[in-house]
Amino acid sequence: MKIAVIGGGISGLSCGYYLKGAGHDAVVFDPRPGGAIGSVNIEGCILETGPESWLAMKPWAEQLIRELGLGDELAGSNDAGRKTYVLRHGHFVTLPEGLQMVVPTKIWPVVESQLFSWNTKFRMAIEMFRSPKAMPDRSVSAFVADHFGEEAVAYLAEPLLAGVYGGSPDDLSAASVLPKFVEYEQRYGSVVVGTMRDKRKPSGQSIFKSMRHGMGMLIDTLIARVHLVRSAVEAISKSESGWLVLVDGEWQAFDHVVMACGANHSAPLIAPTDSRLSELLAAIPYTSSSIWTFGYRRSEVPHSLDAFGFLVPKPERRAIMACTWLGTKWLGRVPDDKAVFRCFSTNPDVTREEALDDLNRLMGMNAEPIFALNHRWPNSMPQYSVGHSARVAEIETRVKGIPAFSLIGNAFHGIGIPDCVRSAQEAVKGIGPAAGQGPIN
Ligand SMILES: Cc1cc2nc3c(=O)[nH]c(=O)nc-3n(C[C@H](O)[C@H](O)[C@H](O)COP(=O)(O)OP(=O)(O)OC[C@H]3O[C@@H](n4cnc5c(N)ncnc54)[C@H](O)[C@@H]3O)c2cc1C
């Protein structure tokens, strides 16, 4: 079949790659392929324009990377140095050991922690005695406050989730963002009890994985393996036998269309075919982000950099929400005589001065960086807001009603890179192999 894949981020490129493997003639359209993923080499440091890693426990990105012959490029985070600081009253306080996202699983680190008041520690202890209950979908803030109190929202849930989803826990859906914990609430009442019961033996592998020479290598390799046209799709229209796709002012015929350009960009394209689907896609909110990456001479950084970095909860925040100490988290990416700080913010307009003043204040530095790089990502993070799963269920019902059409990407069942790859794998399985090809594994 001739298949148009609209959007060449990780979802669209991996879809194009798998479709080719299934014997289809797939064309990926994207004027700026890769989306936020890309790498930059500067002063001997390997830096990322957007995502820097993925959660190792989700296998789909790693499967793809191995299949592409890039297994030797896989690198794990330096978990021996794994520690995260959280800013509390202007000082770095260690995030207690044993936390699984927002849930404590070890008693003593929480008891000894300076991050929480005794009131919150007490709330965490008595959480184990709750009775099972099923609640309608509610915000992450409401869920966490119900289990552990408001301080756990402000100093745990908010900074942790703001870094991953680029959004506020007041809006994010507990059912979509913390599905396991919602399930534990229904089954055991207590999320602490549920997490302890399900606690797996450490796998021995790193928590995060990335690519030794940068995530950009994954995109470059995929680009080389697919038929990519560096143009935007302007419109699509259902035809008798399939689809017409408007690119560079010309209509081209395809048997099937895969949309992988984000819910926000898909909405106007699908509107003439299904206005309700377009409405549902447009209703998924998006947030923006910015990454400032500053490089310093190591000798001018007084801190020991003995952690992966720090989080800044909202009550303490100025410009930076989260900062990664790159050389500690990833061995081999920063030469010993340099220190690199990757500063994340959900304000895409944060200026160099604002980010730098904040970093210098927090790190007790006053030197000038030897390099500063900014990557802005406007409207790039879909928000799984309260009611997300019901909205996605309706989206999927409508998609099923449109022949020869698939919708993939980060807006539906997971924002991380592995989830995007999985969405591509599932779409290709749904499409099936080309005539005369063997089954898809
Ligand atoms: C700053 C940042 C940091 C992140 N960090 C991490 C991380 O550490 N780990 C992790 O797992 N995930 C991370 N994520 C999330 C993850 O990177 C994304 O969810 C994922 O890359 C999205 O891939 P995608 O292909 O679904 O969408 P996108 O990458 O958004 O790709 C969509 C593509 O569609 C194209 N497009 C739009 N309209 C059209 C059109 N009309 N015609 C043709 N093409 C079109 C765009 O150019 C774009 O390339 C991060 C995201 C951001 C923004």
Q: Are residues 281 and 339 in the same domain?
A: no
Q: Are residues 56 and 74 in the same domain?
A: yes
Residue tagged 């990377």 (tokens)? 65
Q: Are residues 378 and 313 in the same domain?
A: yes
pLDDT at 100 (0 to 100): 87
Residue nearest ligand 1's atom 32 by CA? 261
Q: Are residues 8 and 43 in the same domain?
A: no
Q: Are residues 111 and 235 in the same domain?
A: no
Q: How far does the centroid of ligand 1 lie from the alpha carbon of residue 77, in Å?
A: 22
Q: How far does the centroid of ligand 1 lie from the alpha carbon of residue 23, in Å?
A: 26
Q: Are residues 103 and 172 in the same domain?
A: yes
The DSSP string of 189-220 is: S-HHHHHHHTPPPP-SS-SEEEETT-THHHHH
Q: How far does the centroid of ligand 1 lie from the alpha carbon of residue 103, in Å?
A: 29
Provide φ and ψ at 335, rounded to 5°. Answer: -60, 155
Residue 249 maps to a domain: yes
Domain count, the chain: 3
Residue nearest ligand 1's atom 25 by CA? 9
Q: Which protein residues touch ligand 1 with a CB less than 6 Å away?
A: 6-12, 29-30, 32-33, 35-37, 50-54, 232-233, 260-262, 265, 289, 291, 377, 380-381, 409-410, 415-417, 420
Q: Cα(45)–Cα(326) distance, rounded to whole angstroms?
A: 9
pLDDT, one tens digit per residue, over 240-255 is 989 999 999 999 999 9
Atom of ligand 1 nearest to the CA of 416: 11
Between strands 2-6 and 256-259, the pairing is parallel
Q: Which of 6, 13, 14, 30 to mutate to test the pocket of ligand 1 (most atoms within 8 A of CB)?
A: 30
Q: Are residues 396 and 422 in the same domain?
A: yes
Residue 356 maps to a domain: yes
Residue 89 maps to a domain: no
Q: How far does the centroid of ligand 1 lie from the alpha carbon of residue 420, in Å?
A: 9
Q: What angle do CA 22, 24, 27 make, to 5 degrees?
A: 125
Atom of ligand 1 nearest to the CA of 32: 47
Q: Are residues 226 and 154 in the same domain?
A: no
Q: Spell out the residues 6+ positions from residue 75 whose beta carbon is closer than 8 angstroms to its own.
A: 209, 210, 211, 212, 330, 332
Low-confidence ranges of the chain (pLDDT < 50): none
Atom of ligand 1 nearest to the CA of 415: 19
Q: Which of 49, 206, 380 to mutate to test the pocket of ligand 1 (most atoms within 8 A of CB)?
A: 380
CATH code at 175? Answer: 1.10.3110.10
The pTM of this model reads: 0.95
Residue nearest ligand 1's atom 20 by CA? 417
Contact 415, 408 (CB under 8 A): no
In this structure, the dihedral spanned by the alpha carbons of residues 112, 113, 117 and 119, taken in order and rounded to 10 degrees, is -60
Q: How far does the centroid of ligand 1 lie from the alpha carbon of residue 290, in Å?
A: 14
pLDDT at 80 (0 to 100): 87
Q: Which of 6, 329, 406, 417 to mutate to test the pocket of ligand 1 (most atoms within 8 A of CB)?
A: 417
Q: Enter the tokens of residue 261.
A: 């350009």
Q: Cα(379)–Cα(72) distance, rounded to whole angstroms?
A: 34
Between strands 91-94 and 243-247, the pairing is unpaired
Q: Are residues 328 and 374 in the same domain?
A: yes
CATH code at 7? Answer: 3.50.50.60
pLDDT at 101 (0 to 100): 86
Q: Which of 5, 11, 48, 413 to mutate to test the pocket of ligand 1 (most atoms within 8 A of CB)?
A: 11
Q: Are residues 290 and 364 in the same domain?
A: yes
User: Which domain range does residue 332 map to?
Assistant: 39-80+286-382
Q: How far does the centroid of ligand 1 lie from the alpha carbon of residue 66, in Å?
A: 21
Q: Are residues 313 and 368 in the same domain?
A: yes
